[in-house]
Structure 1
Amino acid sequence: MKILAFAASNSKKSINKSLVQSALNQLNNSTATTIDINDFEMPIYGEDLEQAHGVPEAAKRFVEAIAEVDALIISLAEHNGSYTVAFKNILDWCSRLDRNIFQNKEILLLATSPGPGGASNVLKFAVNSMPFFGGEVIGEFSLPSFYDNFNAEKMTITDAALDDKFKTALSMIDR
Structure 2
Amino acid sequence: MEYLKKLIRDVPDFPKVGVLFKDITPLLQDAKGLKDSIACIASYVENKKIDIVVGAEARGFILATTVAFSIGTGFVPIRKPGKLPYEKASMTYNLEYGTDTLEIHKDGIKKGQQVLMVDDLLATGGTMNACCKLVESLGGNIVGCAFLIELGFLNGRDILSKYDLFSLIKY
Shared fold per TM-score greater than 0.5: no
Structure that is richer in helix per residue:
1
Q: TM-score, normalised by structure 2?
A: 0.39
Structure that is richer in strand per residue:
2
